[in-house]
Amino acid sequence: MKVSIIGATGYGGLELIRYLVNHPHVEIISIHSQTETQAVDQQYPHLKGILSMKLTAVDPEEIMNQSDLVFLASPSGISKKLALPFIENDFPVIDLSGDFRLKEAGAYEKWYGTDAQHFSSIEKFDYGLAEFRENLNSKFIANPGCYATASELSLAPLLQNQLAELDSIVIDGKSGLSGAGKGMSASSHFSHANENMSVYKMNKHQHIPEIVQQFQHWAPELKGIQFTTSLIPVTRGILVTAYVKLKDVLSCVQLVNLYKSCYMEKPFIRIQEEGCFPCIKQVAGTNFCDIGLAVNKEMKMATIVTVIDNLGKGAAGQAIQNMNLFAGFSETDGLMQVPIYP
């Protein structure tokens, strides 16, 4: 399979390259940047000896002539424009941005603060939560956001089985700095972020509507969630702690078994035994999503602790998983990296 990557010099694009150069069935045909034209290993010396392809401007015609699929690793707001020629020509697209995720009219404008002239295209896209995809043949995939992936995988078993009190969901998300991309800001300056933790976009994060949309897919009566996002001083990794009141109290063992059963055939979801909670480092550099569980009987509350690498399962890893599903490859092809520990 031949692929092109647009937005190859962002963190998502670099991570696609990292996975794809060792993928058994994929050849990277071209890499594109809006701003850079040098060889990618000149700007990113870690790629020396691995990929020295030149970055070129986006030429949709040429991409469609030479490749079988294009990854859009461009930011939200840019992808919606870059995707158009591919959509018009029914050419396979996997978009890592937030531009094609929100199906409800008005939602994109509200949460992304920009126009939705591309709204008619949004409905052509399949939301790519890989473990719960329904139509694997879709040519247009909106890859989920990093917080959204962790949050949705956290609660899927409870919501699909109608076990949760729907007005009680609290999700406390923590992310490493790479989640916001390589753009510079006061909050991503090392001297500010190091030895620090801060809360941001409280109840305003653009992943909220995406999560609610998916939750409502499983539990239509759900109205909303409490969602908090914060920055922790790590480069990679998301840890989401989700709290939910249970309709009926389960034991922790029952909860663990429910999750194990729900994710039995999902190679990237690893359910921890009772009393064990995952840490970020145990998924670093991979497409794994590890989940630990607890029950507070007094409060009738379940706590779900979920970790992913925001650039892996939260972005490029899942995008490749979606590509594997689309292309009929094994779901794990090119993705069985061993986490970097320590």
Residues 301-320 that bind a second copy (CB under 8 A): 301, 303, 305, 307
Measured distance CA(165)–CA(246) in Å, rounded = 6
Does 170 participate in binding a second copy (rule CB under 8 A)?
Answer: yes
Q: Which of 12, 237, 314, 317 binds a second copy (CB under 8 A)?
A: 237
CA-to-CA dists, residue 154 to 38, 44, 191, 251, angstroms: 41, 35, 33, 17
Does 2 participate in binding a second copy (rule CB under 8 A)?
Answer: no
Cβ–Cβ under 8 Å, residues 143 and 94? yes
Residues of span 46-75 touching a second copy by CB under 8 A: 46-50
Residues of span 12-31 touching a second copy by CB under 8 A: 14, 17-18, 21-22
Specify the stretch interacting with a second copy by CB under 8 A; choose among 63-71, 82-90, 124-132, 286-294: 286-294
- Residues whose CB falls within 8 Å of the CB of residue 254, separated by 6 or more in sequence, listed in order: none
Does 178 participate in binding a second copy (rule CB under 8 A)?
Answer: yes
Identity of residue 105:
A
Q: Which is nearer to a second copy, 253 or 340 (CB)?
A: 340
Helix (H, G, I), strand (E, B) or coil at 247: coil
Among 278, 267, 315, 20, residue whose Cα is nearest residue 149 = 315
Residues of span 91-130 touching a second copy by CB under 8 A: none
Two tokens, residue 188: 């991503």
Does 213 participate in binding a second copy (rule CB under 8 A)?
Answer: no
Number of CB atoms found within 10 A of residue 175's CB: 26
Q: How far is the CB of 138 from a second copy (least distance, A)?
A: 27
Concerning whether 279 is annotated as a catalytic residue, the answer is no
Measured distance CA(235)–CA(190) in Å, rounded = 11
Per-residue b/e over 59-77, b at no fewer than 16 CB within 10 Å?
Answer: ebeebbeebbbbbbbbbbe
Catalytic-role residue among 146, 276, 279, 289: 146
Is the alpha carbon torsion for 182, 184, 190, 195 positive or negative? negative
CA-to-CA dists, residue 268 to 38, 201, 283, 291, 338, angstroms: 36, 29, 10, 11, 12
Q: How far is the CB of 6 from a second copy (least distance, A)?
A: 19
Q: How far is the CB of 89 from a second copy (least distance, A)?
A: 31
Cβ–Cβ under 8 Å, residues 30 and 55? no
Number of CB atoms found within 10 A of residue 325's CB: 18
Q: Which is nearer to a second copy, 85 or 224 (CB)?
A: 224
Among 338, 254, 235, 340, residue whose Cα is nearest residue 293 = 254
Residues of span 76-95 touching a second copy by CB under 8 A: none
Cβ–Cβ under 8 Å, residues 127 and 144? yes
Q: Which of 66, 117, 162, 196 binds a second copy (CB under 8 A)?
A: 196
Does 285 participate in binding a second copy (rule CB under 8 A)?
Answer: yes
Total residues at interface with a second copy (CB under 8 A): 86
Helix (H, G, I), strand (E, B) or coil at 134: coil
Specify the stretch interacting with a second copy by CB under 8 A; choose among 65-73, 100-108, 130-138, 228-236: 228-236
Q: Which of 63, 69, 193, 211 binds a second copy (CB under 8 A)?
A: 193
Specify the stretch interacting with a second copy by CB under 8 A; choose among 28-36, 81-89, 142-150, 274-282: 274-282
Residues of span 244-273 touching a second copy by CB under 8 A: 267, 270, 272
Specify the stretch interacting with a second copy by CB under 8 A; choose among 100-108, 119-127, 140-148, 218-226: 218-226
Task: Report the residue count for the chain.
Answer: 342
Specify the stretch interacting with a second copy by CB under 8 A; choose among 75-83, 98-106, 125-133, 276-284: 276-284
Does 223 participate in binding a second copy (rule CB under 8 A)?
Answer: yes
Catalytic residues: 146
